[in-house]
Amino acid sequence: MAEFVTQANFLPANRIGEVWTTEIGRVILSPNKNNRINCDRGELIICQEDIEITPDKNSVIVIIGRQFLGSEYFYHSSKRRPLL
């Protein structure tokens, strides 16, 4: 029986060496003898609790709203307009 119930996020990823790049950032997998990965593209399954999002002043994406959906939030985003 599972010790907890969680929701997972499936993120498309590209691999270069041990670093997987996703739309929300990079993930480094700890190397071990069971990590025999023979591909450079795939999906990473990441639990919500394992994701930490921090502000990036250089980002073109801005969070413009948040909606509570009972057990989770949905964030509304928009592309930042370039300064003229």
The average pLDDT across 52-67 equals 84
62 Cβ contact list (under 8 Å, min separation 6):
77, 78, 79, 80
Phi, psi at residue 50, to the nearest 5°? -95, 0
Whether the full predicted model's pTM is greater than 0.85, yes or no, is no
pLDDT in tens, 61-74: 888 999 998 878 88
pLDDT at 61: 83
pLDDT of 17 > 80? The answer is: yes
pLDDT in tens, 18-42: 888 998 888 887 666 666 677 889 9
Question: Residue 55 pairs with which residues in a beta bridge?
Answer: none
What is the chain's alpha carbon radius of gyration, rounded to the nearest angstrom?
16
Decide: 63 and 80 in contact? Cβ < 8 Å.
no
> CA–CA separation, 42 vs 82, rounded Å?
33
pLDDT at 82: 62
Q: What residue ranges do the domains of the chain occupy?
A: 8-79
